[in-house]
Amino acid sequence: MKSLKGIGLLIITNILIMVTLMISGTLIINFVLPMFGIDVRGSFNSMNLTWSLVFGFGGAFISLFMSKWLAKRGMNMQQVTNPSTAKEKLVFDTVQSLAQREGIKMPEVWVYWDDVPNAFATGPTRNNAMIAVSSGLAMNLNDKELKAVLAHEMGHVGNGDMLATTLLQGLMNTFVYFIARMISEPVRQRNFWMGFALNIALQMMLSVLAMIPISWFSRRREFGADAYAADAVGADAMISALRKIEYLSNKSDAYINAPEEDTALATMKIYAAHSKLTGLFATHPSIEARVAALKGRK
């Protein structure tokens, strides 16, 4: 039921985003740009590029600004404002201390009930972020390991990874929309439905290719967040946390049986298994590579 709720929420959200972007794009092309002497209505390539930019960056940024809202409603979460247990106090105090060290507003702290050990950070800006920790993570890691994971997530916040990922996603989306529309338009002029089908097919194929640079950047940002954690609490604690999370995740039936298609929020993980097809699409480096990088910092 929980997964169905998340899927339904995602579908509704995407429909609303699509409607919003169609209205916004129409207003921009027909009213806003002409006010500044830019009229792309008579040029297919210019209008195509404008629509691609609207959908590419618009969709990415709307998703970014809705990321906290979606995360809270897609999981059974509870915000920690007044810690009532030792673990909650450890999580809250660690995030607060790291935020003060970084000179940013303290992210919201949330816990959610899931046996799979996980933590993630999301939010539109460094000063408007949230960090969430699963019960499986909090209960199975010792204090030093838990602090390391929290420092890793704060590294994502401090490094501005969410915004950087959104910019890259928007750029890739723009290329996908532009190329698909440009190739399918001549066909659409002869046969609307054939052109429409070709456009969708091209978008799907190009989106797969676009995932390669996005996944590469995601792996780079994991190394950066690990480095932040190593500087904040020590490399040994982060290495120990990664080893334990890998063991617990592989042991968990919930993790093993979760199909890869359900990991749409794969970047919202401290650890994720590699793609069965190729490492090019892996959002996280292997544990071995991350441990090796951390050992190199000693």
C-alpha to C-alpha distance for 180 and 184, rounded to whole angstroms:
6
C-alpha to C-alpha distance for 288 and 274, rounded to whole angstroms:
12
Q: 125 in helix, strand or coil? A: strand
The structure tokens 């940024």 sit at 61
C-alpha to C-alpha distance for 296 and 298, rounded to whole angstroms:
6
CB-CB contact of 41 with 26 (8 Å): no
CB-CB contact of 103 with 126 (8 Å): no
Q: 230 in helix, strand or coil? A: helix
To 10 degrees, the CA torsion angle through 185, 203, 68, 73?
100
Can you list the alpha helix ranges (DSSP code H) found in the chain? Answer: 2-27, 33-35, 44-65, 67-74, 86-102, 135-140, 143-158, 161-190, 192-233, 235-251, 253-256, 287-295
Closest CA to 162 of 202, 131, 201, 208: 131
CB-CB contact of 29 with 41 (8 Å): yes
Reply yes or no on whether 246 is catalytic.
no
How many Cβ atoms sit within 10 Å of the Cβ of residue 39? 13
Q: How far is CA 221 from the centre of its chain?
A: 11
Tokens of 263: 């990991």
From 145, 153, 222, 246, the catalytic residue: 153
Residues with catalytic roles = 153
